[in-house]
């Protein structure tokens, strides 16, 4: 009899233990939910992406450094296009004594002289140097634009990923409510004698996995916060950046339109084209080096004014490049560099077209997936879960299909958010390559 009663009481004791575990898991989840709610209430207001981009344009050290480099390059034109500095001379010749001006009136050979000389490059050389300096400034300016677009694209990517994590946390928190419904249904069936212990344990394991996922998301959020603050040049101790809700940016431009925009506005292509123009001028400059340069000098000399008149001397010199080996090598180098720059631009153009195609495909396909998820899979999965929960509560369905239905909802919603983040990242990459604002272009078309 004793063993019989012990066997009858065992399920009750096990049920009490399972109930205690369920309550503990529920309390832990509730604590996480309360902490999330409290953090949300005390969180700073959401910062639009446009504000971060403006802040980065003003404060990011990389952007500022590139801009200063452009300004420095612009100052080269005035330096290289000016004539060489003239040279002024003072001559004093004595006879009989090394002391300055000694014997000036004692010898016909003593004199004092003042002179000046000026080097004059062959006509056109200075103009070419100035044009080359302008192209160097253009290259620096295009590279500064490329740096700016790269930094802004990195901010967009980090911001979209942060928004994805923030919204995923909301999904995980909300889906805890669904999981609690599953736990309560499993507990009710177990208490009625129609369920088993494994159902409750599986629900609790899934609850723990949710808590782990929430903790991992907080970790990733911390990394992204640090990166964003670095990019906008904020102190790491400043309040965290809170993103706005991620929304889909429609893409209404065709691939050909985007490709044409990239050919016209891509700063890397522009820098390479400026390099081609510079190298073409360097080839012309190398040909000019076969031409002579000139020098003109003037001298005034004075001996004893009581006996001799002043002397005036003008000298005209020509620097002739007799040894053409140096000039030929210079010309060959300039021609090879020009050919290299043209090939570089061709390869760069192909690479940009390839990158554009890849990002355009990602943007198009992710938009299609978002539509399928929004209009089909997600609402259908939620409907299926509610139907399965009702069937399970009425003992017409097993626990595993119900749990799988819940996991499908969780997976689909997370994948949908990741697809949205991938779509916006692809748009950001397209904007970086083309130099366009696709959101603004979309509004203009609408």
Name the stretches of the chain with pLDDT < 50. Answer: 1-39, 441-446
Given a contact cutoff of 8 angstroms between Cβ atoms, the answer to whether 208 and 179 are in contact is no
14-83+121-445 CATH: 1.20.1600.10
* pLDDT confidence of residue 20: 41
Mark 193-206 as b/e (b = at least 16 C-beta within 10 Å). eebeeebbebbbeb
Cα separations in angstroms, 251 against 150, 277, 399, 436 = 21, 35, 43, 12
pTM: 0.76
Dihedral sign for Cα 163, 166, 172, 177, please.
Answer: negative
The order of strands in the sheet holding 311-319 is 87-93, 111-120, 293-302, 311-319
pLDDT in tens, 348-382: 999 999 999 999 999 999 999 999 888 888 888 88
The residues spanned by each domain of the chain are 14-83+121-445
pLDDT of amino acid 193: 65
pLDDT score for 378: 81
pLDDT of the residue at 200: 67
């Amino acid at each position: 009899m004793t063993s019989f009663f012990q066997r009858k009481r065992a399920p009750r004791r096990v049920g009490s233990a399972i109930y205690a575990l369920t309550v503990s898991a529920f309390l832990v989840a509730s604590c996480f939910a309360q902490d999330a709610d409290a953090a949300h209430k005390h969180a700073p207001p959401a910062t639009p992406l446009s504000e971060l981009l403006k802040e980065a344009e003003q404060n990011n050290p990389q952007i500022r450094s590139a801009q200063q480099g452009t300004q420095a390059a612009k100052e080269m034109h005035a330096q290289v296009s000016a004539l060489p500095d003239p040279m002024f001379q003072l001559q004093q010749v004595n006879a009989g004594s090394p002391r300055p001006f000694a014997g000036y009136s004692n010898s016909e050979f003593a004199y004092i002289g003042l002179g000046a000389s000026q080097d004059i490059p062959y006509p056109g050389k200075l103009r070419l140097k100035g044009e080359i300096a302008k192209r160097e400034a253009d290259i620096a300016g295009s590279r500064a634009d490329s740096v700016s677009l790269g930094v802004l694209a990195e901010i967009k990517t980090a911001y979209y990923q942060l928004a994805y994590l923030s919204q995923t946390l909301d999904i995980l928190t909300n889906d805890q409510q669904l999981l609690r419904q599953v736990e309560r249904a499993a507990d009710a069936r177990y208490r009625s004698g129609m369920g088993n212990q494994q159902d409750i344990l599986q629900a609790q394991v899934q609850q723990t996995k949710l808590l782990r996922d929430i903790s991992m998301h907080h970790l990733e959020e911390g990394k992204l916060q640090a990166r964003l603050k670095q990019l906008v040049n904020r102190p790491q101790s400043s309040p965290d950046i809170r993103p706005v809700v991620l929304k889909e940016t429609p893409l209404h431009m065709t691939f050909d339109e985007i490709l044409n925009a990239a050919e016209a506005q891509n700063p890397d292509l522009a820098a390479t084209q400026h390099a081609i123009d510079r190298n073409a001028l360097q080839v012309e400059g190398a040909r000019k080096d076969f031409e002579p340069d000139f020098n003109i000098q003037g001298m005034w000399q004075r001996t004893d004014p009581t006996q001799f008149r002043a002397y005036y001397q003008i000298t005209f010199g020509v620097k002739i490049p007799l040894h053409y080996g140096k000039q030929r090598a210079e010309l060959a180098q300039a021609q090879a560099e020009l050919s290299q720059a043209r090939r570089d631009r061709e390869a760069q153009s192909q690479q940009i077209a390839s990158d554009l195609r890849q990002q355009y495909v990602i943007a198009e396909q992710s938009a299609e997936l978002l539509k399928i998820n929004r209009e089909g899979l997600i609402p259908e999965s939620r409907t299926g879960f509610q139907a399965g929960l009702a069937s399970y509560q009425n003992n017409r369905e097993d626990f595993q299909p119900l749990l799988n239905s819940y996991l499908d909802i969780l997976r689909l919603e997370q994948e949908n958010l990741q697809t949205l983040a991938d779509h916006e990242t692809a748009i950001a990459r397209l904007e970086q390559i083309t130099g366009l604002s696709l959101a603004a272009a979309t509004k203009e078309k609408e």
